[in-house]
């Protein structure tokens, strides 16, 4: 596997992460038997999972951590048998040294740039098909073409753009067919993830969400959809599944956001459905919750197709970023 150029003029990200983990293990902050899982580390360091995976493999080779029968790695060389300690990193005073923190901060800037471009590219697709021009993107962001290319290849990995026949980057169009296909995928994957995640869901948190909906504090379904992902689906031990689910949702949430920016009011029926869903999950009726989630997605798919129709009446946004040109 060839390392992708990421942050220009910096060490590869996995080396920064490895340094931080080594520091915390050698200083004794993370005790022997502590369970290291990619997700929480990635979150704490504000990176994607891939460099964390790479870094854990390196530490494993160095003998600082080792594989065990569960998910992730245990701190220690594995010579003695240990009881796995499943706690959060923060509880053990996990520390990110300043020098690494600034390396990660540069990386964070990159992430923000990426997030902005991702949002723009996802949002334009309801208006049709667009060419993404690499040089214009680099100029627009004030970064090198290498960085622009890196942004584009990440977008490509996440399924937001593709190469056309003439090797140009293309985005969109988001059609009713694309929408339906994405919802079809959702209704296959998300109920499955919910079932798998069942034993890892924190029910106190779910009851809190239910209470929020009940009291009218939960304002829109986008927020509840995020909670569903964060507190339920994202808890499945199958991290590959979680990743496919989030990528599949990208375009859909971009469309929702674009529509609510255009003035789409809150859908009270959808809020009611989330309430039922969280109540089922909270009362551990997981089979029923999975079936209900499927039905909820069916209705949502139908409504989304209908809502997309109004976009036909709206001219392409005049504030399209300069690196996008419509394909006619």
Partner 1 sequence: MHRLASPPNHKRRVLRVRGTDVTLLEEVRKMAVADLGIDIEHESLDFLTCQHLAAVDPTGYDVYEQCFHNLDIVWYWGALQPIQTDRINQWDHIGDLAKDGGISKYTWQGHGDAPVRKLYVQPDGTLGQQPMPTISMLPTAHNVDSFGFDRRLFGDEGPEGSSWAWLLDRRARGRIALVDEPAIGIFDAALAAEANGDLTFQDIGNMTVDEIDSLMALLETLRQQGFFAGSWVTPDEAEAFIQTDRVSVQSMWSPSYGNLGEMAGIFRESVPREGYRAWHGGASLARHLEGAKLDMAYDYLNWWLTGPAGALMARQGHYMTNSKGVREYLSPEEWGYWYDGDPARCDLKGPDGKIVVRTGQRRPGGAYRERVSRIALWNTVMDEYNYAARSWNRFIRTLGSSTT
Least distance between partner 1 and beta carbon 156 (Å): 22
Nearest one of 266, 259, 265, 264 to 317, comparing CA atoms: 259
73 torsion bin: left (phi>0), alpha (psi -120 to 50), beta (else) = beta
Identify whether the C-beta of residue 64 lies closer than 8 Å to the C-beta of residue 77.
Answer: yes
Rank residues 94 and 127 by Cβ distance to partner 1 and give the closer one. 127
Rank residues 37 and 259 by Cβ distance to partner 1 and give the closer one. 259
Least distance between partner 1 and beta carbon 300 (Å): 10
Least distance between partner 1 and beta carbon 306 (Å): 4
Q: Which residues of this protein are in contact with partner 1, per CB under 8 A? A: 126-128, 173, 175-177, 180, 262-269, 299, 302-303, 305-314, 328
Rounded to whole angstroms, the Cα distance separating 198 from 206 reads 12
Least distance between partner 1 and beta carbon 124 (Å): 13
Least distance between partner 1 and beta carbon 220 (Å): 13
Rank residues 85 and 271 by Cβ distance to partner 1 and give the closer one. 271
Q: Taking the CA atoms of the chain, what radius of gyration do you get in angstroms?
A: 22
Identify whether the C-beta of residue 183 lies closer than 8 Å to the C-beta of residue 297.
Answer: yes
Rank residues 188 and 314 by Cβ distance to partner 1 and give the closer one. 314
Residues with Cβ within 8 Å of 299's Cβ and at least 6 positions away in sequence, in order, are 269, 273
Rank residues 105 and 310 by Cβ distance to partner 1 and give the closer one. 310
User: Which residues are 61's β-sheet partners?
Assistant: none
Rounded to whole angstroms, the Cα distance separating 277 from 291 reads 10
Residues with Cβ within 8 Å of 217's Cβ and at least 6 positions away in sequence, in order, are none
Least distance between partner 1 and beta carbon 269 (Å): 4
Rank residues 126 and 241 by Cβ distance to partner 1 and give the closer one. 126
């Amino acid at each position: 596997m060839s390392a992708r150029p990421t942050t220009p003029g910096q060490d590869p990200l996995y080396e920064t992460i490895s340094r931080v983990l080594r520091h915390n293990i050698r200083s004794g902050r993370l005790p022997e038997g502590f369970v290291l899982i990619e997700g929480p580390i990635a979150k704490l360091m504000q990176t994607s999972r891939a460099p964390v995976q790479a870094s854990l493999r390196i530490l494993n080779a160095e003998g600082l951590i080792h594989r065990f029968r569960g998910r992730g790695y245990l701190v220690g060389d594995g010579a003695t048998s240990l009881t796995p300690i499943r706690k959060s990193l923060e509880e053990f005073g996990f520390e990110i040294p300043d020098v690494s923190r600034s390396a990660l901060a540069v990386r964070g800037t990159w992430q923000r740039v990426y997030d902005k471009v991702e949002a723009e590219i996802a949002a334009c697709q309801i208006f049709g098909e667009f060419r993404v021009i690499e040089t214009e993107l680099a100029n627009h962001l004030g970064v090198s073409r290498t960085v622009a290319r890196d942004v584009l290849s990440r977008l490509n990995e996440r399924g937001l753009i593709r190469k056309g026949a003439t090797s140009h980057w293309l985005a969109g169009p988001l059609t009713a067919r694309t929408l339906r296909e994405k919802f079809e995928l959702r209704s296959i994957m998300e109920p499955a993830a919910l079932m798998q995640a069942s034993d890892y869901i924190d029910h106190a948190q779910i009851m809190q969400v239910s209470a929020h909906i009940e009291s009218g504090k939960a304002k829109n379904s986008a927020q509840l959809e995020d909670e569903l992902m964060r507190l339920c689906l994202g808890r499945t031990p199958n991290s590959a599944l979680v990743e496919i689910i989030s990528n599949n949702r990208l375009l859909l949430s971009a469309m929702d956001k674009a529509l609510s920016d255009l003035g789409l009011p809150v859908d009270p029926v959808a809020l009611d459905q989330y309430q039922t869903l969280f109540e089922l999950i909270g009362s551990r009726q997981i089979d029923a919750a999975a079936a209900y989630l499927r039905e909820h997605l069916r209705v949502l798919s139908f409504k989304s197709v209908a809502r997309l129709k109004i976009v036909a009446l709206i001219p392409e946004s005049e504030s399209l970023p300069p690196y996008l040109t419509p394909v006619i």
